Structure 1
Amino acid sequence: MPKTLSPSKLIPAGTLYRGREGQWSWVAHRITGVVIFFFLLVHVLDTSLVRVSPEAYDAVIGAYKNPIMGLGELGLVAAIVFHAFNGIRVILVDFWKQGPKYHRQMLWGVLGLWALVMIAFSIRHLSHVFGG
């Protein structure tokens, strides 16, 4: 495999991820996946409280109704939206013949769509969290 010269070392030519956009999207996809998994775990546990003790369930749900949890919900939605849009990009990179060629442009598209969705959601969500 031919090598190309990098400022710090030799890097195999032809690899998709070289510490640039592709690798950072890979890292962000894994992190958001783990965040979503742990949310789902907590969600199943707190929802199951309703069968054990409805009073305990009401107390937990009441504790969630504060601005800090509202910001946490915003972060969760941000993770879900990025993970979903980037997942579509990953599918296109893997299964579309031209996917690797356009992976960088698709990432910028993912980030643009993510920003649009999050701006719209944030305005509405934060008005409920802080406004009533």
Structure 2
Amino acid sequence: MAHRVTGVLIFFFLLVHVLDTALVRVSPHAYDSTIATYKTPLVNLMEYGLTAAILFHALNGLRVIAVDFWSKGPKYQKQMLWSVVGLWVVLMAGSFYPILQHTLSNWFGK
């Protein structure tokens, strides 16, 4: 279920990304205003959430491929799921500061 939810979230991000990029042709001022909105702490937190969704979707997709195409995949699917979750947690912990450094420096001083 989580794989489907992250897939839908990624789809909606891509839709918004295409629309806001297309805005530059319609009105450069509106585009600049939209991009300025993206530089807020809330959007920065959403970027971290997007990273979480993409990373989980990618890692779990590899697990699904292994379950489908490896003869022993169904036997080890539970262990592979926990491996995916563990790797995801480690990678998300490692990406915490690089993604949120601008927001954290604004909140806690430079």
User: TM-score, normalised on structure 2?
Assistant: 0.93
Distance (whole Å) between structure 1 residues aligned to residue 99 and residue 51 of structure 2? 10
Q: Deviations over 1:65-113 (max 9, x none)?
A: 1100000000010000000000000000000000000000000110011
Q: Secondary structure at the match of 1:47?
A: helix
Alpha-carbon RMSD across the aligned residues, in angstroms, is 0.9
2:7 corresponds, among 30, 33, 39, to: 33
Report the AA paired with residue 111 of structure 1: V
* Cα offset, 1:33, TM superposition: 0.3
Report the AA paired with residue 93 of structure 2: I
Alignment of 1:41-52 (within 5 A): 41-52=15-26
* Cα offset, 1:124, TM superposition: 1.7
Which structure has more strand as a fraction of its residues? 1
Larger radius of gyration: 1
Aligned length: 106
Distance (whole Å) between structure 2 residues aligned to residue 101 and residue 128 of structure 1? 44
1:22 aligns to what?
Answer: none
Deviating above 4 A after TM superposition, structure 1's stretches of 4 or more consecutive aligned residues are none
Alignment of 1:1-132 (within 5 A): 27-131=1-105
User: TM-score, normalised on structure 1?
Assistant: 0.78
Q: Which runs of no fewer than 5 residues in structure 1 stay unpaired? A: 1-26
1:9 aligns to what?
Answer: none
Q: Which runs of no fewer than 5 residues in structure 2 stay unpaired? A: none
Report the AA paired with residue 28 of structure 1: A
% same residue: 61
Distance (whole Å) between structure 2 residues aligned to residue 73 and residue 30 of structure 1? 19
Which structure has more helix as a fraction of its residues? 2
